[in-house]
């Protein structure tokens, strides 16, 4: 892996470089351990919360021209992270050929417990990221429907669900979302594609947003869906994506016609770093936070 963090739970994620390690750990215990005249360097896996050992920080790795990287450490590091075998097995950074096992995580899994807690405590930021990436304006009623779908699916127990991809796995749990009556960002890619490709729709402007309404003598069968979540490792780097599909159902057979399909990048550090950078923000949505506290 090419990323690390310095503590379990909500913690900023850093690229594995010598400079980052020195700045964020100061090379103090528990991040550095000296034994028989040799030093070892440790941190926390951002995906499974297990301890990792950082290799090649201050000397060349055995693999020619390989940059510093992290590998899982098979035992607990006191005052840093406790090792959990099942969370390690479920970790996408544990193996370049990793695939999700059948079934769901154990509800007592540390990753599952922390993921659910973060959804509850950061629900407004989950919605913020989805709005920003798609052009949707997910308000209270739609957010509630999506949250109920997430609860029904127990999305926090998916084997590929982590604290870092919460917004996107949350969205994937929703069935197709009807867009009639919904607000979308004015002049966004979503707005432009619907305007150009969907003749059944007209728009009502509401400030910096437009509301999707039906054109005269038309009926709107316009939907969006989050699907095709994919993940793989490339040169120690986790590449993760999900598709955002907007489609219109046409005719009596309601065949789907694509209006917009785009691949959304899931950047491993985006969500956690947003929380950390904005942790004292006063611009929180009390309505969404109250909703999450009530339903979760």
Q: How is the chain split into domains, by residue range? A: 3-83, 110-295
Indicate the pairing of strand 201-206 with strand 209-214.
antiparallel
Residue percentage of the chain with pLDDT more than 90? 81
Residue percentage of the chain with pLDDT more than 70? 97
From the CB of residue 117, how many other CB atoms can be counted at a distance below 10 Å? 15
Edge to edge, the sheet with strand 32-35 lists: 32-35, 38-44, 51-55, 69-72
Q: What's the mean per-residue pLDDT of the chain?
A: 93
* Letter string b/e over residues 175-214, b meaning 16 or more CB atoms within 10 A of that residue's CB: eebebeebbbbbebebbebbeeebebbbbeeeeebbebee
pTM of the model: 0.92
Instruction: Give me the pLDDT at residue 280, please.
Output: 67
Residue that the structure tokens 């913020």 belong to: 128
Instruction: Give me the pLDDT at residue 217, please.
Output: 85
Q: How confident is the model at residue 104 (pLDDT cuts 50, 70, 90)?
A: very high
- CA separation for the pair 180, 149 (Å, rounded): 19
Give per-residue pLDDT as tens, 198-245: 999 999 999 999 999 999 888 899 999 999 999 988 888 999 999 999
Residue that the structure tokens 């990221």 belong to: 129
Handedness of CA 172, 173, 175, 177 (dihedral sign): negative
């Amino acid at each position: 892996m090419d990323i690390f963090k310095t503590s379990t739970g909500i913690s900023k994620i850093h690229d594995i470089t010598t400079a980052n390690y020195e700045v964020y750990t100061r090379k103090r215990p528990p991040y550095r351990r000296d034994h028989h005249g040799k030093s070892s360097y440790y941190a926390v896996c951002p995906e499974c919360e297990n301890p990792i050992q950082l290799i090649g920080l201050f000397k060349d790795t055995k693999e020619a021209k390989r940059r510093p990287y992290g590998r899982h450490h098979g035992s607990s590091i006191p005052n840093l992270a406790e090792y959990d075998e099942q969370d390690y097995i479920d970790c996408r950074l544990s193996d370049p050929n990793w695939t999700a096992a059948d079934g769901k995580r154990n509800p007592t899994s540390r990753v599952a417990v922390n993921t659910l807690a973060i959804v509850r405590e950061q629900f407004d930021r989950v919605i913020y990221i989805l709005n920003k990436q798609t052009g949707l304006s997910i308000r209270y009623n739609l957010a509630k429907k999506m949250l109920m779908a997430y609860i029904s699916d127990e999305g926090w127990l998916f084997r590929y669900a982590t604290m870092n991809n919460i917004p996107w796995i949350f969205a994937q749990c929703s069935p197709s979302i009807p867009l009639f009556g919904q607000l979308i960002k004015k002049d966004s890619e979503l707005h432009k594609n619907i305007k150009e490709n969907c003749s059944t729709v007209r728009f009502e402007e509401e400030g910096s947003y437009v509301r999707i309404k039906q054109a005269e003598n038309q009926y709107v069968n316009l939907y969006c869906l989050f699907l095709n979540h994919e993940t793989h490792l490339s040169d120690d780097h986790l590449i993760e994506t999900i598709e955002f599909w907007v489609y219109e159902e046409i005719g009596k057979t309601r065949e789907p016609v694509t209006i917009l399909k785009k691949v959304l990048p899931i950047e491993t550090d985006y969500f956690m770093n947003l929380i950390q950078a904005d942790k004292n923000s006063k611009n929180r949505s009390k309505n969404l936070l109250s909703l999450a506290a009530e339903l979760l």
